[in-house]
Amino acid sequence: MSIAVIGAGSWGTAVAALLGGKGIDVQLWARETEIAEGINAVHRNPLYLKDIELPARVVATHEIDEALNGVTAVVMVTPSHGVRGTAETMLPHISNTLPIVNLSKGVERGSDMRMTQVLEDVLGNCARLAALSGPNHAEEVSKQVPSATVIAAYDESVGRMFQDLFMSPTFRVYTNPDVVGVELCAACKNVVAVAAGLSDGLGYGDNTKATLMTRGLAEMARLGAKLGANPLTFMGLAGVGDLIATCTSRHSRNRGLGEHIARGGTIESYAEETHMVAEGATSCISVDDLAHREGLELPITHQVRAILYEGASPLTGGEMLMGRAAKDELHGMGIVVDEEA
């Protein structure tokens, strides 16, 4: 078996290490020539997860046709804003039945498409597509810290195939047929994590962060219910599990971005310091737009967008959230409450 891993950032590097460690041949595509050359020379990524030695079965290239040559399946690990362009580059080099699993977390700006919808739009045949999401920090997965994740696929056999591919003694994989819910969880939780980071940067406490996380989860579930997702997905690994990890971990780039902004930094300065993409910075726009298209209000998402792009103060944003009109806690989440109980 030979697998193409498309994207050699932190998550792509961790996935390559995981698969290569299982004895699978990995053809890792890096956009930057120096990353590919560094990996092939010393079995380490010179920019991301530098302390992780990659298995000998991992071979890197900056030519996408080489990465895709003769592979059994494709693992997409590019930033969400690059999925469409990367898929267009892949199109001449793959068949329309080659299984593809997407690990990018976002909603495409402008089209409001989830990532597998973008892949279907470019590559066709959604039956061979899947999405992977869960509380999976690359730093921990690469060091074989016990972790778990979810594979959501349109076709059950594709989901099972990717489940077998990724499953290892330290990386437990579950399947879930709810592609819509898993992908929405992946995109929305990053925005909530930015809000959690803003709270940290302002010096607020556990009460504030817990409130943001639970009300953020309500926003996620409300959007999911509107778009036909299973509400239980938001209680699982891709939902509350990933939300906890992303809002609380020192590894979380989205939480780190929020903290950086609250302390006077910018999106640009954070990217320059970390060399990483915080997906929440894009998703706060695309998820907010998607919600407005569906006639929904996501107040936390909207305030994160206003703070990051419209000059709103983090303090003012918090005051606006706290000052909103009183609501029923389960409002809009597709949950029926027995008022006689």
Same structural domain, 186 and 172: no
Summarised one tens digit per residue, pLDDT across range 263-288 is: 999 999 998 888 777 899 999 999 99
Residue 297 CA to residue 289 CA, distance in Å, equals 10
Same structural domain, 171 and 190: no
Report the pLDDT value the prediction gives residue 110, as an integer from 0 to 100: 94
Report the pLDDT value the prediction gives residue 333, as an integer from 0 to 100: 62
pLDDT band at 243 (very low <50, low <70, confident <90, very high): very high
Same structural domain, 75 and 115: yes
Residue 332 lies in a domain: no
Same structural domain, 116 and 265: no
Contact criterion met (CB below 8 Å) for 49 and 139? yes
Residue 339 lies in a domain: no
Whether the per-residue pLDDT at 338 is higher than 80: the answer is no
Please classify residue 247 by burial: count the beta carbons closer than 10 Å to its beta carbon, then call 0-12 exposed, 13-18 middle and 19+ buried.
buried
Domain boundary pick from 110, 142, 177: 177
Whether the per-residue pLDDT at 39 is higher than 70: the answer is yes
Hey, how many other C-beta atoms are within 10 angstroms of the C-beta on 253?
Answer: 25
Summarised one tens digit per residue, pLDDT across range 149-206 is: 999 999 999 999 999 999 999 999 999 999 999 999 999 999 999 999 999 999 999 9
Whether the per-residue pLDDT at 148 is higher than 90: the answer is yes
**Annotation marks residue 189 as catalytic:** yes
Same structural domain, 51 and 196: no
Same structural domain, 306 and 166: no
Summarised one tens digit per residue, pLDDT across range 203-229 is: 999 999 999 999 999 999 999 999 999
Residue 126 lies in a domain: yes
CATH number at residue 171: 3.40.50.720
Same structural domain, 86 and 198: no
Summarised one tens digit per residue, pLDDT across range 58-67 is: 999 999 999 9
Same structural domain, 19 and 157: yes
Residue 337 lies in a domain: no
Residue 143 lies in a domain: yes
Average confidence score pLDDT of the chain: 94
Q: For residues 69-84, give the mean pLDDT.
A: 97
Report the pLDDT value the prediction gives residue 275, as an integer from 0 to 100: 79
Residue 341 lies in a domain: no
- 211: Cβ contacts below 8 Å, ≥ 6 apart: none
Same structural domain, 272 and 296: yes
Phi-psi region of 112 (alpha: psi -120 to 50; beta: other; left: phi over 0): left
Domain boundary pick from 127, 149, 177: 177
Report the pLDDT value the prediction gives residue 119, as an integer from 0 to 100: 98
Report the pLDDT value the prediction gives residue 124, as an integer from 0 to 100: 96
Summarised one tens digit per residue, pLDDT across range 87-108 is: 999 999 999 999 999 999 999 9
Report the pLDDT value the prediction gives residue 237, as an integer from 0 to 100: 98
Same structural domain, 104 and 13: yes
Number of domains in the chain: 2
Q: What is Dmax (Cα atoms) for the chain?
A: 69
Contact criterion met (CB below 8 Å) for 108 and 85? no
Domain boundary pick from 149, 177, 205: 177
Report the pLDDT value the prediction gives residue 319, as an integer from 0 to 100: 81
Hey, how many other C-beta atoms are within 10 angstroms of the C-beta on 179?
Answer: 23
Give the range of the structural domain holding residue 315, as residue numbers without chain letter: 180-322
CATH number at residue 254: 1.10.1040.10
Report the pLDDT value the prediction gives residue 341, as an integer from 0 to 100: 32
Same structural domain, 53 and 165: yes
Residue 55 lies in a domain: yes
Same structural domain, 168 and 249: no
Tell which wins on pLDDT, 275 or 73. Answer: 73
Q: For residues 112-124, give the mean pLDDT.
A: 98
Among 105, 189, 209, 226, the active-site one is 189
Report the pLDDT value the prediction gives residue 153, as an integer from 0 to 100: 98
Whether the per-residue pLDDT at 339 is higher than 60: the answer is no
pLDDT band at 336 (very low <50, low <70, confident <90, very high): very low
Whether the per-residue pLDDT at 337 is higher than 50: the answer is no
